[in-house]
Structure 1
């Protein structure tokens, strides 16, 4: 279960190797993602596009890897700062110095509050007796990128948590479910200027149909002859509307499913596994979606 955007424990206590350089690719997924968002992917010093993590106080002068000592920087400013402290590097730019110092004082209180909640939720989920693991959004993104999958919500769902590091996403056509709601309580329709032009009845069901029902319509003759299906919009006159056609009478319709506030359809675009990937298995010896 993906519960938070960033893991504050990893950011406050990064588990980094002593010999790791600040430009290394294994600097820490959580830290890099957090700093990019915090600084809007811009260099803290010059405002141009950032590229890497930079220490305010260099390691040679006692600087640590804690997130309070890190900013997002471009390569040019990183190299120019070198072994200088923040105050030394920005001695001639007091406004930039104050801005960075104020930004670094921003605490992780909000993220910490969410993290405190996630552990309680984890305990409640474990009561069902099923194995449960959790991960952050930054970890999910890293897992997806490392395995070469393209961005999609259902692919992210397979890449959540530690077991998401090695998953097989087979060629699938995902089912897309959209929350539509159950209509509205507006009693008076208005024009684009806000003036009332029609009033709506309290009655919602007409001729056995209600707006939002999924229906099947078969028209055997006339200009609108054909077979149609989808969510219907009803009218008191008995002339209903479908996504493909308007003005079909109720006698042509049959109900496939009562409206429940949701619509679903299969995605037209398939997401396929990268050809270079081995058929990795995870999640208890099976693929991400229960495939052997």
Structure 2
């Protein structure tokens, strides 16, 4: 697993330690468990002049999952890794359900009320709630890790593809842009757009080549919109033929390919919409922020021979990436955003009619839904998250537990945690 965070009795972050060292401190009674996820211990003494090694927190923001890595730039060791799963789609679905319910209610009861949507005003920099939740999740975890570790710098993948540099190669120097990095920028963009699949035969997990849809011999352009991916047999078979001639016997493939050319990248659009807002939030922490691109991230990961995972992509963000990255023994923490419940007081059925009313109190007997507890009962020992019931027994997994047997391990904080698996994903190109 990853290293264990350590804070002293004054809650000052110290150097993370190996799990064996943390286990020894707990056994000797010199420390106590402060938090279960991420696992943090608190010393029972204060450290006046601690010798801490500065760490860099690296982020690879994504539409669905964000990679997080804590790297020591001095020795290239990955101290902590996590993958944060967002709930942007769940937020959007909830808002759509609420909108439909309210519209149905207005049609039934206030049919003749004048519309008020023109009276609404949005502040500058407003983002949809589904995108705002992604930024809030990342901001929460950056602040949380800054409390537990001596973080002195931040790195963020600001752009997935450096489109401006691809369209204007002379912007940062012709030697820089037409070198190796230019190929990684273009190739990474095409891999995402065409889903790592041959555009002509649909082959996957084979070496793919960059192909001009309309060949240069037939006055095709060099623009990104005229590029696709093809396996070697299809690339050789097409040659300089016109795309309509080459796919004359496959009208479905031709229709799909031409539609894919104009298809926008939905996930990339979500990341692009939040990248600068996230950058401003990170700058508010008062730490130096380094920015990088997706092409540079892949270049760093490929040259270091690392597999394709979210947390390893995060470790390779930016030019500050050490020449050698040590990932031995690191198991990423899987974090899933679940939210803090809902404020809806009346629960409707599928037709929009009121079905039940929500309880007025969120807590009962000092507990709330989502709390992680450990219960020692006559039937055995149980550990997990509880579901709140307004009666003297709570639901823990598949059994009912009385609160007198329970001990709270960690309060509900809007996230679910799992720590399993490791670096077992085959490298991808």
Name the TM-score, length of structure 1 as normaliser. Answer: 0.64
Partner of residue 332 from structure 2, selected from 174, 187, 191? 174
Q: 1:239 to 1:103 in 2, by over 3 A?
A: closer
Corresponding residue for 1:250?
403
Partner of residue 416 from structure 2, selected from 263, 279, 284? 263
Partner of residue 8 from structure 1, selected from 137, 159, 163? 163
Corresponding residue for 2:387?
233
Query: By percentage of residues, which structure has more helix?
Result: 2
| Secondary structure of the structure 1 residue equivalent to 2:234 | helix
| Uncovered stretches (5+) of structure 2, i.e. residues with no partner | 1-155, 170-176, 425-429
Q: C-alpha displacement at 1:256, in angstroms?
A: 3.1
Corresponding residue for 2:235?
78
Kept after mapping to 2: 8 A contact 1:154/1:174: yes
Superposed CA RMSD: 4.6
- The answer on 1:152 being equivalent to 2:341 is no
Name the TM-score, length of structure 2 as normaliser. Answer: 0.47
Task: Report the Cα distance in structure 1 between the residues aligned to 2:224 and 2:196, rounded to whole angstroms.
Answer: 16
Kept after mapping to 2: 8 A contact 1:29/1:139: yes
Kept after mapping to 2: 8 A contact 1:140/1:164: no
Q: C-alpha displacement at 1:158, in angstroms?
A: 0.6
- Comparing 71-80 with 232-241, greater Cα deviation is found at 71-80
Q: C-alpha displacement at 1:249, in angstroms?
A: 0.9
Kept after mapping to 1: 8 A contact 2:212/2:228: yes
Q: 1:128 to 1:89 in 2, by over 3 A?
A: same
Corresponding residue for 2:119?
none
Kept after mapping to 1: 8 A contact 2:244/2:254: no
Corresponding residue for 1:214?
372
| Uncovered stretches (5+) of structure 1, i.e. residues with no partner | 18-24, 273-292
Return the index of the structure with the highest Cα Rg: 1
Q: What does 1:91-102 correspond to in 2, within 5 Å?
A: none
| Secondary structure of the structure 2 residue equivalent to 1:143 | helix
Task: Report the Cα distance in structure 2 between the residues aligned to 1:35 and 1:256, rounded to whole angstroms.
Answer: 46
Kept after mapping to 2: 8 A contact 1:90/1:97: no
Report which structure shows greater RCO (CA 8 Å, sep ≥6): 2
